[in-house]
Amino acid sequence: MTAEDFLAWTAATACGAPCAVPLTADPELWEAGVELGRRALWLHTRGAHSGERPRMPGGRRPYVRAALPSSGLPDSLDYDPDEEALLLGEGRISPVPQGAWDFQAGGVRVLESWFEQRTAAREPGTLEAIGPAGWPSAWTSELLELITVLALLAELRPELRALADRVADGALIDAAELRGAGVLPVPGAARRPASVLDHHEEGPEGQFALL
């Protein structure tokens, strides 16, 4: 098991508040969870570490069907479930799956939060009030990518729920087993970020040799 494997497992199984990460004793279930977690991480990071950006299948990719304003900002955001269309004032993007529109984080609909952060009225004379007078094309590209990621994450959720059920119904590794294996207690040094100040060898002219 690598650190990346554990991160992927955490992404697939972490739940509750405070966050808890159940550890399955089933090797096959572990592998399935790691694979799901890797896909979830790939989506959450928009493929940043793979060189491959998330994309919807052909025919399901969102496109701008009615142009967004070149001056001023759209004053409303709505969704037409029958047409699978995201409506930004007079602008229109489709297809936008229902799952992307309904996707929430922290109890807030992600697309609504994204839109509000860019279009909400700002107090005049503040730094927040400094912004584009019209809708930048970069925002459109960002929105299309966000819709894609949310749609794919929504498709992944049934698999994550099924994994959670299988983990809950199966054998788990408990704290006693982790202590017996020497994993717990966690060493104090592992609880803080690594620092060059912990390294006592010096390079030329008294500088730390950072490799």
What pLDDT does 17 receive? 79
Confidence of residue 28 (pLDDT cuts 50, 70, 90): very high
pLDDT on residue 30? 97
Q: How many distinct structural domains can be found in the chain?
A: 1
In a domain, 92, yes or no: yes
User: Who wins on pLDDT, 189 or 57?
Assistant: 57
Name which residue leads in pLDDT, 23 or 48.
23
Higher-pLDDT residue of 18, 206: 18
What is the pLDDT, as a whole number, of residue 173? Answer: 96
pLDDT in tens, 75-115: 999 999 999 999 999 999 999 999 999 999 989 999 999 99
- Asked whether residue 177 is assigned to any structural domain, the reply reads no
- The region of weakest confidence among 11-20, 171-180, 198-207 is 198-207
Per-residue pLDDT at 87: 98
User: Which pLDDT band holds residue 201 (cuts at 50, 70, 90)?
Assistant: low
Question: Angle CA(63)–CA(60)–CA(55) in degrees, nearest 5?
Answer: 85
pLDDT of residue 203: 57
Q: Is residue 40 part of a domain?
A: no
pLDDT for the residue 211: 47
CA distances from 88 to 110, 111, 129, 160 (A): 15, 11, 21, 31
Three-class secondary structure of residue 24 per DSSP: strand
Tokens, residue 47? 């493929």
Q: How far apart are CA 161 and CA 163, in angstroms?
A: 5
Residue 199 placed within a domain = no
Contact 8, 37 (CB under 8 A): yes
Q: Is residue 197 part of a domain?
A: no
**Residue 87 domain boundaries:** 63-143
Q: Note whether residue 82 is domain-resident.
A: yes
117-153 burial by CB neighbour count: b if 16+ within 10 A, else e?
ebbeeeeeeeeeeeeeeebeeebbeebbbbbbbbbbb
In tens, the pLDDT along 107-160 reads: 999 999 999 999 987 777 787 777 787 899 999 999 999 999 999 999 999 999
Would you say residue 78 lies in a domain?
Answer: yes
